[in-house]
Amino acid sequence: MIVVSADSGPTLREGVRHVLACDVPLELILIDNASRDGVPEQVAREHAGDARLRLLRNDANLGFGPAVNRAAAQARGDALLVLNPDCMLDEPALRRLLDVLAGEPRAGLVGAVVCDAQGAPDPASYRRDPLLRRALVGLFGGRGEGVNVEGGMPDRVVEAEAVSGAVMLLPRALFERIGGFDEGYFLHCEDLDLCRRVRDAGWRVLLAGDVRVLHGKGGSSRHRPVFVSRYKHRGMWRWFRKFDPAARNPFVAAAVWLGLWAHFLLQIPGQLWRLWRR
């Protein structure tokens, strides 16, 4: 199991406690991207007697995908579970995810339904590739399918185009075969990219709809919203250029580039205002 931290705050300690309370044989690699809050060190001291926990430190913030890749290179298990630092994964959920990975034909990647404190599912748990035509449907309405799958969250195992990067389980051999996370992403959209490449390699992306995991959502990013938004928009642009057929048209690509960065700039005043109020 791999958890990436970057000034993730106290929820990291609770998330690690949940994982280490499981009786399932596991190793937990906590890889830290140059945090200054001292929490990773606190976690390491708190669980100093538990050989299942390893703390790796990066001297700089490498980004989410690069950090996962470095941790995966040191992992010893046959399966990798990438878990956000603010996710509370319990033993029944972990066992169910492992069962789905082992039991479903051509299962390449398994996700869970991530929920907020009130139990409301995050729509990003069950979604489609963010093709331009789908994004436009979501933005302006109209006929056609959007990025998020309509009709509510399923309560069974279903095939998906993409699942949330907050909880992702896949065979280590497959992760290595497809090259891990694309390190051209720093933060955001690398999960969409990984799901797409798993499918392109001939494997299935599955959502275990009967597995619900509490997700704090954004514990590492609330104090730096502009920084996070910048890399989210950059990630969206990279995904579009790699996978969307619309990107082959230079005029469409130019319009998308301008639209993305205009949207980023328009968001900054509101983000700074909300940060100041907090």
Q: Tokens 């007697």 map to which residue?
A: 49
The whole-number pLDDT of residue 220 equals 52
- Please tell me the total count of domains within the chain: 2
3-class DSSP state of 114: strand
Which residue, of 193, 215, 237, is where some domain finishes?
A: 215
Give the pLDDT confidence of 61-96 residue by residue, as tens digits: 999 999 999 999 999 999 999 999 999 999 999 999
The whole-number pLDDT of residue 208 equals 98
What integer best gives the mean pLDDT of the chain?
94
Whether the Cβ atoms of residue 144 and residue 244 lie closer than 8 Å to each other: no
Q: Does 256 lie in the same domain as 207?
A: no
The whole-number pLDDT of residue 221 equals 58
Q: Looking at residues 101-129, what average pLDDT do you find?
A: 96
For 197-214, letters b (16+ CB in 10 Å) and e give bbbeeebebbbbbebbbb
Using the 8-state DSSP alphabet, how is residue 204 labeled?
E
Q: For residue 113, what is the enclosing H or E element?
A: strand 107-115
**What amino acid occupies position 170?**
L
Q: Looking at residues 136-162, what average pLDDT do you find?
A: 89
Q: Does 204 lie in the same domain as 236?
A: no
Q: Which pair of structure tokens corresponds to residue 30?
A: 């906590």
Using the 8-state DSSP alphabet, how is residue 162 labeled?
B
Tell whether 235 is covered by a domain: yes
Using the 8-state DSSP alphabet, how is residue 122 labeled?
P
**Interstrand relation of 28-33 and 107-115 (parallel, antiparallel or unpaired):** unpaired
Give the pLDDT confidence of 252-274 residue by residue, as tens digits: 999 999 999 999 999 999 888 87
At residue 217 the predicted structure's pLDDT band, cuts being 50, 70 and 90, is low
**Alpha carbons within 13 A on the beta-carbon side of 15:** 30
Q: Does 135 lie in the same domain as 230?
A: no
The whole-number pLDDT of residue 46 equals 96
Tell whether 265 is covered by a domain: yes
Q: Does 167 lie in the same domain as 258?
A: no
Q: What domain range includes position 33?
A: 2-215
Q: Where are the alpha helices (DSSP H) in the chain?
A: 11-20, 39-46, 64-72, 91-103, 132-140, 172-177, 190-200, 225-243, 250-277
Q: Which pair of structure tokens corresponds to residue 238?
A: 């990279």
Tell whether 220 is covered by a domain: no
Q: Does 159 lie in the same domain as 42?
A: yes
Q: Does 81 lie in the same domain as 128?
A: yes
Q: Taking 90 as the threshold, does the pLDDT of residue 150 lie above it?
A: no
Q: Does 152 lie in the same domain as 23?
A: yes
Which residue, of 174, 192, 215, is where some domain finishes?
A: 215
Whether the Cβ atoms of residue 47 and residue 20 lie closer than 8 Å to each other: yes
Give the pLDDT confidence of 117-130 residue by residue, as tens digits: 999 999 999 999 99
Using the 8-state DSSP alphabet, how is residue 84 labeled?
-
3-class DSSP state of 61: coil
